[in-house]
């Protein structure tokens, strides 16, 4: 049966973790995978999460099945966070939201639903993008192509190219957009550029799928979420995937959500029924714990305030590490202008280093980033920053 089965390639990012674990370099630093570590190099367990978990434990809640679309209090809290509780689409009951297995689960449920709905549509992802975007939509049965995004020479977004590619797309094509903190480049669109993207999506009749995996890591919760409000205000029907993996440091609990903005309440009810069918035939219903924690935090003013404070601290620390990296590289003798590191947003920096330089960083210095030159600045800290700067300076000589 399995004699012809081929060995699938490793995930290029998660595969680095295994290599890092086996590395014996005394000053090794894992800047590969997109995970936030605190200044002591540890994965944080947020205080707001601890508070909610303690309260949940003291209640000793039984673990029945959740509804197929998840915890109702969670879904409504997600709607309020992503769109604003007072947003017309939410008030009118035009948003269908389901709890999913992380942001990846949201993308997959959305992809499976879209594949039933518009099987011949093409899916466009940014070049470059999170590798799983292409893989996931391909596995769902779609043809996946790219729209221009990163301009290496300009160290920024090739916006003219992006817009031209969107304008060349066919009606009904699906365009996957990073709502904020673009992975892997760290370059986001300006508000004015988003307006132009929205106009193109509208004029061409494209279906936007906004992937929001880092809300709160860019400029702030509301600031990062503003783009969603723009799409809603334009009167578009669109998809939003939400992940709380990073913003709650709950990676392994798999907490996410898919929201679909529809034209009417009746349409949203029908869409919701299809999302539930997709979920039912995949894993029946989602797990309880992570959503119970996130829902408790979002719905309890005291814990919500604590979360916003802790999220703000993560965001601020990442920004400080960007500055420390730019300054440290200069101090280590790098003469090229590295100020772009400070201007990028989110967890990542596209460093511009070549595959060969990234491989040298790994083999000679135990500093792990992806072959594409992406470094996770959220994994830098006051203890590893000097070694990382010395290492990068050495391979840049
Ligand atoms: N989308 C993007 C752009 C990501 O970087 C990630 C990272 O993990 C995800 C989605 C998936 O999120 P999750 O880990 O919640 O599945
Ligand atoms: O880009 C990253 O590093 C994160 C984590 O298959 C990740 O988004 C990486 C690869 C993957 C799943 C999550």
pLDDT in tens, 120-148: 999 999 999 999 999 999 999 999 999 99
> ipTM, 2 decimals?
0.97
d(CA 48, CA 127): 37
The answer on pLDDT for 253 being more than 90 is yes
So what's the pLDDT on residue 9? 86
CA of 25 to the centre of ligand 1 (A): 29
34 C-beta closer than 6 A to ligand 2: yes
Binned at pLDDT 50, 70 and 90, residue 392 comes out as very high
Q: What are phi and psi of 166, to 5 degrees?
A: -65, -40
Q: What SS3 class is residue 193?
A: helix
* Distances from the Cα of 305 to the Cα of 118, 176, 227, 297, 312, angstroms: 41, 31, 23, 9, 10
Binned at pLDDT 50, 70 and 90, residue 14 comes out as confident
- Helix 301-331, helix 289-299: angle, nearest 10: 100
pLDDT in tens, 319-330: 999 999 999 999
- Helix 385-396, helix 301-331: angle, nearest 10: 40
Binned at pLDDT 50, 70 and 90, residue 61 comes out as confident
Concerning whether 211 is annotated as a catalytic residue, the answer is yes
Instruction: Write down the residue that tokens 């090794």 correspond to.
Output: 28
Mean pLDDT score across all residues of the chain = 97
Closest CA to 69 of 282, 219, 235: 282
Closest CA to 251 of 292, 221, 286, 290: 290
d(CA 360, CA 237): 47
Binned at pLDDT 50, 70 and 90, residue 116 comes out as very high
Residue from 79, 108, 130, 307 carrying the catalytic annotation = 130
126 C-beta closer than 6 A to ligand 2: no
Concerning whether 130 is annotated as a catalytic residue, the answer is yes
d(CA 386, CA 35): 20
Look at the chain and count its residues: 397
Structural tokens at position 383: 């203890």
Q: Whose CA is nearest to atom 4 of ligand 2?
A: 34
The answer on pLDDT for 349 being more than 90 is yes
Tell me whether strands 29-30 and 255-261 are parallel, antiparallel or unpaired.
unpaired
Domains assigned to the chain: 14-45+304-396 (3.90.1150.10), 65-299 (3.40.640.10)
215 C-beta closer than 6 A to ligand 1: no
- Is the CB of residue 187 less than 8 Å from the CB of residue 162? no
Question: Best mutation site among 12, 17, 34 for ligand 2, i.e. most ligand atoms within 8 A of its Cβ?
Answer: 34
Q: Whose CA is nearest to atom 1 of ligand 2?
A: 34
> With left for phi above 0 and alpha for psi between -120 and 50, is residue 24 left, alpha or beta?
alpha
The predicted model scores a pTM of 0.97
The answer on pLDDT for 15 being more than 90 is no
- Is the CB of residue 250 less than 8 Å from the CB of residue 220? no
Residue from 158, 246, 303, 307 carrying the catalytic annotation = 246
Closest CA to 83 of 215, 268, 202: 215
**DSSP-derived secondary structure for 203-234:** HHT-EEEEEES-TTSSS-HHHHHHHHHHHHHT
So what's the pLDDT on residue 143? 98
- For the CA of 132, the closest atom of ligand 2 is 6
């Amino acid at each position: 049966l399995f004699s012809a089965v081929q060995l699938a390639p490793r995930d290029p990012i998660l595969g680095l973790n295994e290599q890092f674990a086996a590395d014996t370099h005394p000053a090794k630093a894992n800047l590969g995978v997109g995970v936030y570590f605190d200044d002591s190099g540890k994965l944080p367990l947020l205080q707001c999460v601890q508070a909610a978990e303690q309260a949940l434990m003291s209640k000793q809640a039984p673990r029945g099945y959740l509804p197929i679309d998840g915890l109702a209090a969670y879904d409504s809290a997600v709607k309020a966070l992503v769109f604003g509780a007072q947003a017309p689409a939410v008030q009118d009951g035009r948003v269908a939201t389901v709890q999913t297995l992380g942001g990846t689960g949201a993308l997959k449920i959305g992809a499976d639903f879209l594949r039933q709905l518009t099987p011949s549509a093409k899916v466009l992802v940014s070049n470059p993008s999170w590798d799983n975007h292409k893989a996931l939509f391909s596995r769902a049965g779609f043809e996946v192509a790219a729209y221009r995004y990163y301009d290496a020479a300009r160290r920024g977004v090739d916006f003219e190219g992006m817009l031209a590619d969107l304008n060349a797309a066919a009606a009904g094509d699906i365009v996957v957009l990073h709502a904020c903190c673009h992975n892997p480049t760290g370059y986001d669109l300006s508000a004015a550029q988003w307006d132009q993207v929205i106009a193109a999506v509208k004029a061409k009749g494209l279906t936007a799928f906004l992937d929001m995996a880092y809300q709160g890591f860019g400029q702030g919760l509301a600031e990062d979420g503003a783009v969603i409000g723009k799409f809603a205000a334009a009167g578009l029907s669109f998809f939003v995937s939400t992940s709380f993996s990073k913003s709650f440091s709950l990676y392994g609990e798999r907490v996410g959500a898919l929201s679909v903005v529809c034209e009417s309440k009746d349409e949203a009810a029908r869409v919701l029924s299809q999302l539930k069918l997709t979920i039912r035939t995949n894993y029946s219903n989602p797990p309880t714990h992570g959503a119970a924690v996130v829902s408790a935090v979002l719905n309890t003013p005291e814990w919500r305030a604590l979360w916003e404070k802790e999220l703000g601290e993560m965001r601020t620390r990442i920004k400080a590490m960007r500055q420390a990296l730019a300054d440290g590289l200069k101090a280590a003798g790098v003469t090229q202008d590295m100020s772009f590191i400070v201007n990028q947003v989110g967890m990542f920096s596209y460093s511009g280093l070549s595959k060969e330089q990234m491989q040298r960083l790994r083999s000679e210095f135990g500093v792990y980033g992806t072959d594409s030159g992406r470094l996770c600045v959220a994994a830098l800290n006051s203890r590893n920053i000097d070694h990382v700067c010395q290492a990068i300076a050495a391979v840049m000589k």
